[in-house]
Amino acid sequence: MNYGEFITSILIDLQRLFRLGIAMKDISYSQILAIISIPTDGIEMSELARKLGLDNSTVTRLIVRLEIKGWVYREKSRRDKRAIIVVLNNKGLKIQQNIEKKIESIGEKVKIEIDDEKRESILEYLYAFQWGLRKTFLKK
């Protein structure tokens, strides 16, 4: 298996894992990704779009749906009045924490499946692989 095949395979596995293992009532896969991508102090809309790999207009529609559900709010940046910051409210923070608990639980299940002697080195290799992915797309 080459790197391209591995990326495709792991993407499909991770998407299935998120859709089935983290699925919650009334929240889509895209909404889950947005919720877990918003730091506790908020994030600029354009940065969130870059982080998710989506157009600004797509992220705006996504955030509007989260606002309607009462999970986030938008405010003008204090630093740059032209920029909009997305912030999780208390309800959104609880949902984020719930999602993170589910992700941690899945992580622990995966960890159990990996041989004790290989766990640390596998994690280091995965960090290196992720860094390679990020470096590739930070150049663009």
pLDDT tens string 34-52: 999 999 999 999 999 999 9
For the segment 124-137, the average pLDDT, to the nearest whole number, is 90
Supply the pLDDT for residue 137. Answer: 76
> Is a pLDDT exceeding 70 seen at residue 130?
yes
> Is a pLDDT exceeding 70 seen at residue 139?
no
Q: How many CB atoms lie within 10 A of CB 103?
A: 16
> Is a pLDDT exceeding 60 seen at residue 140?
no
Interval 54-105: pLDDT, tens: 999 999 999 999 999 999 999 998 888 889 999 999 999 999 999 999 999 9
> Is a pLDDT exceeding 90 seen at residue 11?
yes
**Residue count (the chain):** 140
Any idea what the Cα angle at residue 132 is, between residues 39 and 109, rounded to 5°?
Answer: 65
Within the chain, where are the H helices? 3-21, 29-37, 45-52, 56-68, 90-113, 119-138
| pTM for this predicted structure | 0.85
